[in-house]
Amino acid sequence: MDNLQKALNRTISDLDEKYRGKRKFGRSMLFLARDVVTCGLVYHALSDANYVLYSTVMGTAMIGLWVLGHECGHGAFGDHAWQNDCVGFVLHSSLLVPYFSWKYSHNKHHKYTNHLILGETHVPSTQASYRAIRRVVGEDAFALVDVVLHVAFGWPMYLLFNATGGRTQADLTTRLVKGVNKSHFTSKSQVMIPTRNVEISTLGCGVTLGLLLYWDLVGMYAGPYLVVNAWLVLYTWLQHTHPDVPHYGTDDFTFLKGALATIDRPYPYLIDQMHHHIGTTHVLHHLNYAIPHYRAEEYTRAIKQVLGPAYRYDPTPIYTALYRTARKCVYVESTHGTQYYKSLM
């Protein structure tokens, strides 16, 4: 692993040197303008059309803005911290994401990817308490219900209640206390660090809600918002969940092991372009999240040569992979050692 890490560092460093001195902010702003114009055109063309069609297309377009906000959180959008935080705060607040709160928890996700204790989002459960329910309704039916629950409610449930989140409080040591606040919206939460930036993040979301109410746009926003959430959960769930992908206890975990427990998947060309390659270059993103999306394909081609069989790519069509994940990846037996997902059947 040490030799592999050195080879990866050397490869990425060589490419970084190629782009050293080339400013990122202007180019990133062009992509932001592209995504804003795209959303405007969709609204102009489809706002009077069938609501499901409008919501699906608009929500799919809005994910581009989400991904750019995500790049801001990693410092990959602009050349300076203030550029990243100003743009990221506006973009994520407009999507009802508490920017600074999410920035903290998401960077924790990167630091401890697939860690069974300290990991963040889609952390495997050791509970098989719904085994009886699955036996009643059947494995296939429950898998479909699981998919619907994940994509429809997974994101707000995570922000509000830490659903599928980590097992420790913000100090990374104390176990979570059942029934005590685990929200991203207050600094008094178990999972947030005590900083006023958490409340500023919540205020940003509140301003968005207030403007939607003032302009009477709640109805036009709600449908696309659900579609954005569905895309987001689909991406994150499939990027780190597979029957053959390990999750690590404290003694077995290393940063590189966690980063390589990430899966690139095939998305249609148009979707991949609109969403800034978030699903097709995610292994690279976990190895080095400071690389902007418009260079990610080039860097991915380079690291694939270094990683060889350690690079994870699953060609399974997305709809098939989503169903298989819900059916096969249910729980792990322990939070110790190296664990793989188990099915209930």
- 345 lies in some domain: no
Helix axes 81-94, 99-111, angle to 10 degrees: 110
Domain that residue 126 falls in:
2-331
Contact 205, 292 (CB under 8 A): no
Q: Please state the domain count of the chain.
A: 1
Contact 117, 173 (CB under 8 A): no
- 341 lies in some domain: no
Among 273, 274, 225, CA closest to 54? 225
Say which residue the tokens 């495997």 belong to: 124
Helix axes 218-240, 196-214, angle to 10 degrees: 140
Residues 6+ apart with CB under 8 A from 96: 205, 208, 209, 225
pLDDT per position as a tens digit, 230-284 = 999 999 999 999 999 999 999 999 999 999 999 999 999 999 999 999 999 999 9
- 304 lies in some domain: yes
| More confidently predicted of 331 and 137 | 331
- The tally of CA atoms less than 13 A away on the side-chain side of residue 251 is 6
Contact 254, 339 (CB under 8 A): no
pLDDT of 136 higher than 70 = no
Residues 6+ apart with CB under 8 A from 69: 87, 88, 91, 92, 95, 97, 99
Work out the angle at residue 187's Cα, subtended by the Cα atoms of residues 183 and 189, and round it to the nearest 5 degrees: 40
pLDDT per position as a tens digit, 44-93 = 999 999 999 999 999 999 999 999 999 999 999 999 999 999 999 999 99
pLDDT of 7 higher than 90 = yes
pLDDT of 139 higher than 80 = no
pTM: 0.94
CA 151 to centroid of chain Cα atoms = 12
pLDDT band per the 50, 70, 90 thresholds, residue 345: low
pLDDT of 129 higher than 60 = no
Dihedral of CA 102/107/112/117: which sign?
Answer: negative
- 338 lies in some domain: no
